[in-house]
Structure 1
Amino acid sequence: MSAIPSHAFSTRENLDDCMIVHHRIVALDEGHYRRQIQHFEYYWGLQKGELDLSSPLNHIELRSDMAEKLLALEWVFMPTKETLKSMQQMAKHNATADLHSRRNGLKELSNEEYEYDVVPLWMLKRDCPALHVNRRSGVKTFLAPYKRFPRIKSRAHPLFVTFMASGQLDCCAHLIYPDKKATSLVNSVGDIVSSWMKEPPAAFLVGPDVWREHRHPLSDDGQTVNSALRDSRVGNMAEAESRVRKTTRAPCRQLKTITKTTPYAKCDMRPARARGSVLPRSDVESGGENSMGYDLSDLHTWIESVGRRPGKGTFVWQPTWLDDEAGQDEGLARYRQEPSRDAEDALHPQTTMNGGGLLLGFGVDRSGYSSNNWAMRTYHTCLWADDPWVHIKDRPL
């Protein structure tokens, strides 16, 4: 039986009773699951930032009742065996290829329409509704178990469909079908999705241009990433050799390691007052019980000198000061255009960032964390309040 349009079947005999909807196949929050989108981009052979979930390739036209049943795991559609075979070959290549040798899945699988097999799920166990197919010869009805149901055709891309189908089948295939058939269904798409799990290389996730101006001097500014993009062992050895004194007698005791200490290498759990200043004065010893790293008399002197400075009245900021400042500093203007976390989310005591890379994979993605997110997840400590819930109006459910 020839394939039918994806919107040409419904549980209603009169298909016009249900409107046609453009159903999004992979519906993810692109900010919340940013690392997962990057997994897709790398293993699908795309450039970073190229994947657009609002694309027509991530949508399928369905009758509204079938879209609801798809979300309820009552049925699913998946690529044909021929398409899956081509996808497996491409997935195997991209999993081992270097950054510049990957095959672009959106271009290699670029038919105007694809055919998909319809796989009933919970509708076989629940109300077992009749499915009505609208054909040129008239309406044909299929009853459970829906044998010889025609394939559907759509512009939706198999890469999106495969990820969606894998999640659907993992949830309930073994609860509905015999073990052998369920395993066959799950593995046919699961083997492809599993090849997208390994974290992409740093050269793709970060890129060679990692320096950003106007950052705090202790915020790494790409030094760690730069060494990861190169051969870090060779780089550190070369730097160490360049610092070796050409004499047999060292003026002081030498370190026994050439590993560079990064700002994140150690985590000092002592209170700030015990640690002292990050940039201590050379003539003051920090770290005492009540030490602030400076002399109180110096502080009073400084405050008095500031108070005695002649003022010119209250300074009034011009409405255009931000634009004027950005116009004088191109780097600052670019920095202000970089995406930033929502302030309410950054201050919220419960982290809302997804800790994993791929939904079905492993790893930790902190690329979108604020400092408070990191402290809450790692140490269950809020940085800005002893009891942040006093200041939070809306608590999570």
Structure 2
Amino acid sequence: NTQPIQSFRLFTGEFYCGITALEYHWGLEKGELDLWCPLNRISVRADVAPLFLDWELALVPTVEVLQTLANTVEANFLNPTDQRRSCFEVLPPGEYDYDLVPVRKNPPNLFLVGNSSSFHQRLEFAHPHFPRVKLNVHPTFAVVHGVYQLYPSVHRNRPYFTIMSVITAVCYSTVPRDFQTRPNTQLLPRRISGQDDDQRSFESDDSEEIIEDDDYSGEDDGVRIQSWLEGVPKLISLVEEVSGKSEGECSKNSWRNSPVKGV
């Protein structure tokens, strides 16, 4: 079942050091972090959503973005409270490149859907040839969603693993008591999400929400997995190599015209 498209929060707040520690090391005010903001939401096919919800897939930012994030949280740890910088200002909202990384040694099955709903092509995870996706998900949320699920035995030799581990270790550091005990800020989290006044905050509802859209256009959703047009030529070669299909059976034009909006 590849339909409908499902939209949900990537990071649900399950982080051992606590939300207050994340707010401090991310350079936010206490109570400012909104886990319902659009920067923490993704939209994927119905068959892919469980892979994120069950931590079988992780989104890993580029090493350059991870290093910038690591430098920021380290500076926030070392500097006085009033000299911290927001990670959402250092890395402003926008599109970021992500690798789809299987968490465990044996990756889950992913399928690319062609023009015909009955045509499904199995994809193989073959780094570094597996194409990246462009997302509006903020790197902070991607890191805390995936870092605990990445098995060291599988990922320790990858360049991203050490940096993500450093970011997490800093977030475990002691938070000044005056920050812990101060009241939550009354500021709206607009510098983080740009959301309207009538959009709910994390405190308003602890339940998870999955939105299903049978007529998903790919234009109205602020955070979505976009089509892999930029990676299609490389992906075509990989698919044809794996499957042994001829150009006529799996033409480039048929893939470019595919109605699929994402993975």
Q: Same fold (TM over 0.5)?
A: yes
> Aligned letter for 1:107?
E
2:64 pairs with 82, 96, 99, which one? 82
Paired position in structure 2 for 1:195: 170
1:284-306: CA deviations, max 9, x gaps?
Answer: xxxxxxxxxxxxxxxxxxxxxxx
Q: Could you tell me how far apart the structure 1 residues matched to 2:137 and 2:155 are?
A: 29
For the structure 1 residues 130 and 82, does the alpha-carbon distance in structure 2 shift closer, same or farther, using more than 3 Å as the test? same
1:47 pairs with 29, 46, 65, which one? 29
* Structure 2 unaligned blocks of 5 or more: 184-202, 204-263
1:368-389: CA deviations, max 9, x gaps?
Answer: xxxxxxxxxxxxxxxxxxxxxx
Q: Could you tell me how far apart the structure 1 residues matched to 2:82 and 2:155 are?
A: 43
Q: Could you tell me how far apart the structure 2 residues matched to 1:51 and 1:43 are?
A: 12
Q: Could you tell me how far apart the structure 1 residues matched to 2:112 and 2:66 are?
A: 28
* Preserved CA contact (<8 Å) 2:156 2:162: no
Q: In the TM superposition, what is the alpha-carbon distance from 1:140 to its structure 2 partner?
A: 9.1
1:61-109: CA deviations, max 9, x gaps?
Answer: 1212211012333321111111111111111211101011000111221
SS at 1:115's partner residue? Answer: strand
Q: In the TM superposition, what is the alpha-carbon distance from 1:130 to its structure 2 partner?
A: 4.3
* Preserved CA contact (<8 Å) 1:61 1:154: no
For the structure 1 residues 78 and 49, does the alpha-carbon distance in structure 2 shift closer, same or farther, using more than 3 Å as the test? same
Q: In the TM superposition, what is the alpha-carbon distance from 1:37 to its structure 2 partner?
A: 1.1
Q: TM-score, normalised by structure 2?
A: 0.60
Q: TM-score, normalised by structure 1?
A: 0.41
Q: CA RMSD in A?
A: 3.0
Paired position in structure 2 for 1:22: 7
1:112 pairs with 91, 94, 108, which one? 94
* Preserved CA contact (<8 Å) 2:23 2:31: yes
2:181 pairs with 176, 190, 206, which one? 206
Q: In the TM superposition, what is the alpha-carbon distance from 1:18 to its structure 2 partner?
A: 2.0
SS at 1:65's partner residue? Answer: coil
Written as runs of structure 1 = structure 2, the 5 A alignment for 1:1-397 is 17-28=2-13, 36-122=18-104, 125=106, 129-132=109-112, 141=121, 143-147=123-127, 148-169=129-150, 172-174=151-153, 177=154, 180-181=157-158, 184-207=159-182
SS at 2:157's partner residue? Answer: helix
Paired position in structure 2 for 1:374: none
Q: Could you tell me how far apart the structure 1 residues matched to 2:20 and 2:60 are?
A: 23
For the structure 1 residues 108 and 178, does the alpha-carbon distance in structure 2 shift closer, same or farther, using more than 3 Å as the test? closer
* Preserved CA contact (<8 Å) 1:26 1:163: yes
> Aligned letter for 2:4?
M
Paired position in structure 1 for 2:187: none
For the structure 1 residues 132 and 201, does the alpha-carbon distance in structure 2 shift closer, same or farther, using more than 3 Å as the test? same
Q: Could you tell me how far apart the structure 2 residues matched to 1:112 and 1:193 are?
A: 23
- For the pair shown, which has the larger CA radius of gyration, 1 or 2? 1
Q: In the TM superposition, what is the alpha-carbon distance from 1:119 to its structure 2 partner?
A: 0.9
SS at 1:195's partner residue? Answer: helix
> Aligned letter for 1:99?
T
* Preserved CA contact (<8 Å) 1:121 1:173: no
1:177-232: CA deviations, max 9, x gaps?
Answer: 37634xx4432311111111122111211239xxxxxxxxxxxxxxxxxxxxxxxx
